[in-house]
Amino acid sequence: MKFKISRDALVPVASVLAALAIGAILIAAQGHSPLEVYKVLIVKGFQSTAGLQATLSKAGILIMSGLAITFGLRAGLFNIGAQGQVLSGALAFTYIGYRVHGLPIWIHLPFALLVGALFGALVGGFAGYLKATRGVHEVISTIMLNSIMAAVVDYLTQNQFRLKSQPNTRTPDILHSARLPHIFGFPTGFIVAVILAVVVGWIFRKSTVGFELDTVGKNRNAAWYAGISVKKSIVLGMLISGAIAGFTGGMFSAETTGYFVPAFYSGIGFDGITIALLGRANPIAIIPGAIFIGGMRSAQSAIQFQAGVSPDIINLLLALVLFFATAPLIAKMIKSNAKSITTTSGWGS
Amino acid sequence: MKRFNIKIWQLLLTIALLAIWIYSYIANTDITNSVVASGMRFGMPLALAAMVGIMCERSGVINIGIEGTMLLSGFTGFYIASWSKNIVVGLLVAILTGVLTSFVHAMMTIQWKMDQIIAGTIINILASGLTSFLYKEGSTIPNSWPIFDIPLLGRLPFIGHAFFTQQGPIQYLGLLLIPAIWVMMYKTRWGLRTRAVGENPGSADTAGVSVIKVRMINVMIGGAIGGLVGGFICLELVGSFSKEFTAGSGFTALALMIFGRWNPMGAFAAAILFGLAQALSTQLQIFGVTNIPNQFITMLPYVFTIVVLAVSAGKVRPPAAAGRSYEKEQA
Amino acid sequence: MEALLRIENLSKSFPGVKANDDISIDVNKGEIVALLGENGAGKSTLVKSVFGLVKPDSGTITIKGEVIEPGDTAAAIRHGIGMVHQHFQLVPVMSVVENIILGDEPHKGAFVTKKAAREEVIALSKRYSLDVDPDAIVEDLPVGIQQRIEILKALRKDIDLLILDEPSAVLTPHEIDELLEVIRKLAASGVGILFITHKLHEVMAVADRVVVLRNGKLVGTTSPKETDEEGLAQMMVGRNVVLSVEKGPARVKEVALEIRELSVKDDRRLDAVTHFSLEVHAGEILGIAGVEGNGQRELVEAICGMRHRENGSVRVSGKDSPDMDPRGVHLMGVSHIPEDREKDGLVSSYSIADNLTLNQFNLKPFADKGVRNFAARDEYADRLVKEFDIRTPSFQNSASSLSGGNKQKVVVARELTQNAHVIVASQPTRGVDVGSIEFIHKQLISARDGGAAVLLVSAELDEILSLSDRIAVMFGGKIVAIIDGQGADRQYIGRLMAGLSE
């Protein structure tokens, strides 16, 4: 998939500007100063070392969740409910992280991450299985699994996995042997995420499996004609997409949270959708968008304290960015020929 | 025609349910009536939301933005009602919001020919972003819609109490609206054209019917219904707006639409069945019959949705052109 | 006398092609004008402009002295133009009545008056003696009847001009005769007819005047009295064409493809192929003649492992081939030119190189241990582009940038360079220009001479007759006769295709 710089790259930039402009009107309408808010965003997100660290750390997580969505989109699957896979991966990781004692970090951490990925894959793969065998559209099944997983992790955190000595509902702390070390203060998760992006990029560029998934995503009939099992590809696509989402949940716990509370993870899967669509499902091209959104997310709480504006402004800004970047309004204005991205058409299996 | 071609197991299910209803009606009329009535209350918003899906998909547009449409119109409806101290104004604004939201959806899918799934997703994300940002706590509406009985119908034996008593006006309106949509779809010129556009837009185009116009109008009628549902939930059923109050019900509605084979009456039956299941589980919970953790009770509708789709999705035939933007054939 | 229809200086461009270039045509009352031209000559675009389905860039269309608003189908219908479309514009799940009344429904208020609609359709079908069951669901009807519905749709209003866009493509020879009779009757009653076709004998049989288009331009007007089929062909293509294919006698060897008692269902789970048995030998071309929709597609898909075989077996070179496993069947040496190249045969956003290796991308030398080898792919693509004369600046370009004929050459190149034992070619020249048709025919014959067993499925009887060593006629999912290709009788085959025995 080619991503022409020049005009096509202008589309996201122009979309961000348009979103900021509309956001400014809404902020002003609430009686706040938009400039103040945007200044906090930039200062907190991108200026200080601490701000940049937080941004890149968050960006790493968002690159990974963006990759989860991207992986599905390339196979013609819209894993809109990646959030549920993130949650199940995170809780599974946390459980292994606090429960299994006495392992060195180089075994404990990878093992816990693997289990996290496995649980994400189970949830995603189940949706893939339902689609391949029963014709259940993944958009509905993953959204439903989202709510189901939210209920399940809520139940487990309140009961079996609960740290009873604390008044609030949370799990015990993840052991140090399952925490992600920082290298010279640089967020390791970001490096892992970039490596993962390169790997996913390679899969779709060079491997036969990637070519099979891509072909299924672009023309299912031709894929079947060419000897590619469409059903197998659907299950595999959802399985890997879910695995990446579960891995993302694990990485976030290992690097940032340190223990599990469901609310910590809110928005990760949904931001992944925005990021994947902004980067037009190109594993490498999603990185700049993820850094941008990572900055906004890490400055989110500061906006409320310092500018007095509801932190939900970020959700609104991101929604506007996505709208402008995918609807052909701006693309037409600057005469970009970037094709809009498509998922599967219709409800058919 | 195809709609009489009901699968035998669906028929059996209906008969079984009727039998259970009659049995429990005889055994304990009061509890049965209240369960059925609360099933109606749970089911009606979903049934109406499924109508949004039917209006759109019968004309060939997949709308997964029902969720966002309801969220936005519930929001504007509630706050306008609170500000104007008038719930009628609130409801009208909710409907208008639904129309405007679906207009944006229609522009994206019909005019700009965007991927329909992505367009719906954008509507949902936009609605969630806007409502959560503009949300303010502490607003109230002057009153909810009054609850009343329908004079004669309410006294009908068996169904009267369950369907025609102790409900709000929008609930009753739904009972009129859904059959009206059925009549519109299968008996009128507009319905014939709508179905033709959803099955084979080329056939309508070559017969001088504007595909774009039929789709735009149907999607916007759908939006009006979506607005009605959003207003209904915030102004009648719950009486307040809360962030993300839709909680996936727009997607459940789509599943019910598929289960009901894109037929208004079918989707209505599916939604009532769904509502009954929910009412029943709530009753069991209240009376302490079960000690299932409440997380598993909240999970039920979602599990039910997946199960419903798993048994029906592969076997029903969606409108053939749903999901595809219409391109005139070239050369 | 004022012409009934007057097209003046009409031009229309699509991205990359000038479909119509300054075309002017008149059609008089009661006259049958045949619009002749190759695929891609611009015939369809022209008549779609007349009917308002395409908005021309410039030029005017006048009917009975009144100018029609461009790009407005409703206006065209109002002005008394009817059109029978090449691809049926019917709603498969609706009844005959609903399909015919769509767009101008008899009504009371907002409601369709079903009874009046039904009576109208019955009267209409009586008036033109085109028999249909008003209550039948369209998808349950055979194509011949579906076309009748299309014609009734067009005749429902009192029309002055009837446009027919390749109406004979899916009909049996007998049905075509009936259609031509209807056309003659209508013309006699004063309706002007504009009739698109690329079948020369139909033109000779029915047209008063012939207008020939080539590459979007009008190249000449003639009449059947002034010329013959060879002459028409020459006008159409712009050079001398050999209408027959040269081939030597077949050197038939052992059985390469053996189908036993095969039964297959269609997408709607109805029987499409029932207890079908056939043997194809190495070194021969066996042509399957038949009207489309008699199970050919399902047969081909079942042979190639793409569709479930309910019953029976398919053996390739003496070994059983796997069911529902296109890759497995392909690996046994079966090549497949699919009937719909856009749907099955190509991924249009992929490069020509990727499309040329679409079913071998995972095999050596194109991949090793799951890693693709682009150098090998490109070298192979470069060679095939030259050998098969695929007209493109580069094999890196996407398949969507190619013309129909060149797209088909990509599919043919891919399938015929794999030294297959069995070649299943389904509609191998559909929608392809005459030059490419000749080329593809030669390739199929040389594959036969190279020792492959070729199973040719085509709706074009001429193609079957000119290529096949043996002809199997298929009707209702069964073979009704197998005849020798040498000196096969067209009329006889036509009757068999229509399900008439002898």
Is a pLDDT exceeding 70 seen at residue A344?
Answer: no
Q: Tell whether A145 lies on the interface with B, counting CB pairs under 8 A.
A: yes
Contact B195 C14 (CB under 8 A): no
Task: Average the pLDDT over each of A129-138, C310-319, C399-408, C476-485 and give the range with the smallest value.
Answer: C399-408
pLDDT score of B247: 85
Contact A225 C338 (CB under 8 A): yes
Among the ranges A284-288, A300-304, B168-172, which has the highest mean pLDDT value? A284-288
Query: Tens digits of per-residue pLDDT, B65-94?
Result: 999 999 999 999 999 999 998 989 999 999
Q: Tell whether C346 lies on the interface with A, counting CB pairs under 8 A.
A: yes
Burial of C212 (0-12, 13-18, 19+ CB in 10 A): buried
Tokens of C426: 């389904």
Q: What is the pTM of this model?
A: 0.89
Which residue has better confidence, C384 or C486? Answer: C384
Task: Average the pLDDT over each of C89-103, C162-176, C182-196 and give the range with the smallest value.
Answer: C162-176
Length, in residues, of chain C = 502
Tokens of A222: 């031709």
Contact C91 B209 (CB under 8 A): no
Q: How confident is the model at residue C221 (pLDDT cuts 50, 70, 90)?
A: very high
* Among A residues 252-271, those touching chain B with beta carbons less than 8 Å apart: 270
pLDDT score of A3: 47
Q: Which of B1, B196, B206 sits opposite C73 (nearest CB)?
A: B206
Query: Tens digits of per-residue pLDDT, A104-121?
Result: 999 999 999 999 999 999
pLDDT score of B9: 65
Residue of B nearest to A310 (CA): B133
CATH architecture of C255-497: 3-Layer(aba) Sandwich (3.40)
Task: Average the pLDDT over each of A127-131, B133-137, C122-126, C141-145 and give the range with the smallest value.
Answer: C141-145
Task: Average the pLDDT over each of B134-143, C261-270, C355-364 and give the range with the smallest value.
Answer: B134-143
Give how far B197 is from chain A: nearest CA, Å.
15
Q: Tell whether A178 lies on the interface with B, counting CB pairs under 8 A.
A: no
Number of H helices, E strands in chain A: 15, 0
Query: Tens digits of per-residue pLDDT, A160-187?
Result: 889 888 888 899 999 999 999 887 778 8
Characterize the bridge pairing of strands C285-289 and C453-457. parallel
Task: Evaluate whether C5-237 and C255-497 have a shared fold.
Answer: yes
Residue of A nearest to B312 (CA): A134
Query: Tens digits of per-residue pLDDT, A26-52?
Result: 999 888 889 988 988 888 888 888 888
Which residue has better confidence, C40 or C296? Answer: C296
Is a pLDDT exceeding 70 seen at residue C386?
Answer: yes
CA atoms of A281 and C35, how far apart (whole Å): 47
SS (H, E, C) A230-286: HHHHHHHHHHHHHHHHHHHHHHHHHHHHCCCCHHHHCCHHHHHHHHHHHCCCCCCCH
CA atoms of B61 and B42, how far apart (whole Å): 27
Q: Tell whether B200 lies on the interface with A, counting CB pairs under 8 A.
A: no
ipTM comes to: 0.88
Average pLDDT estimate for A272-292: 93
Task: Give B110's Cβ-side CA count (13 Å radius).
Answer: 26
CA atoms of C461 and C174, how far apart (whole Å): 13
pLDDT score of C403: 80
Query: Tens digits of per-residue pLDDT, B8-51?
Result: 666 777 787 788 777 777 777 777 778 888 888 889 999 999 99
Every domain of chain C and the residues it spans: 5-237, 255-497
Domains of chain B listed by start with CATH number: 33-134+163-315 (1.10.3470.10)
pLDDT score of B3: 39
pLDDT score of A349: 39
Average pLDDT estimate for C108-134: 91
Characterize the bridge pairing of strands C58-63 and C5-14. antiparallel
Query: Tens digits of per-residue pLDDT, C174-188?
Result: 778 888 888 998 899
CA atoms of C205 and B51, how far apart (whole Å): 54
Give how far B178 is from chain A: nearest CA, Å.
23
Q: How confident is the model at residue A82 (pLDDT cuts 50, 70, 90)?
A: very high
Q: Are B230 and B46 in contact (CB under 8 A)?
A: no
* Among A residues 201-230, those touching chain C with beta carbons less than 8 Å apart: 206-209, 211-212, 215, 218-219, 221-228
Is a pLDDT exceeding 80 seen at residue B162?
Answer: no
Q: How far is CA C262 from CA C271, C310, C470, in A?
A: 11, 7, 20
Task: Average the pLDDT over each of A196-210, B227-241, C88-102 and give the range with the smallest value.
Answer: B227-241
Average pLDDT estimate for C308-334: 96
Which residue has better confidence, B327 or C26? Answer: C26
Average pLDDT estimate for C101-127: 92
Chains contacting A (3 or more CB pairs within 8 Å): B, C
Mutate to test the interface with A, among B296, B299, B311 (most CBs of A within 10 A): B299
- Cis peptide, bond prior to residue C365, ω within 30 of zero: yes
pLDDT score of C90: 93
- CB atoms < 10 A from the CB of C155, how many? 21
CA atoms of C489 and C497, how far apart (whole Å): 12
CA atoms of C353 and C358, how far apart (whole Å): 9
Report the CATH number of the C5-237 domain.
3.40.50.300
Torsion of Cα atoms, A338 then A343 then A344 then B1, to 10°: -90
Q: Tell whether A292 lies on the interface with B, counting CB pairs under 8 A.
A: no
Is a pLDDT exceeding 50 seen at residue C337?
Answer: yes
Query: Tens digits of per-residue pLDDT, A292-323?
Result: 999 999 888 888 888 888 888 899 999 999 99
Average pLDDT estimate for C257-286: 94
Characterize the bridge pairing of strands C81-84 and C161-165. parallel
pLDDT score of C404: 81
Q: Which of C318, C237, C233 is nearest to C279 (CA)?
A: C318
Q: Are C492 and C203 in contact (CB under 8 A)?
A: no
Is a pLDDT exceeding 90 seen at residue B236?
Answer: no
Q: Are C120 and C126 in contact (CB under 8 A)?
A: no
Mean pLDDT of chain C: 90
| Ordered alpha helix ranges (H), chain B | 8-27, 29-58, 66-84, 87-106, 116-134, 160-164, 169-187, 189-199, 201-206, 211-232, 249-259, 264-286, 294-312
Average pLDDT estimate for B159-188: 87
Q: Which of C94, C194, C100 is nearest to C139 (CA)?
A: C94
pLDDT score of B163: 75
What percentage of chain C reaches a pLDDT higher than 70? 98
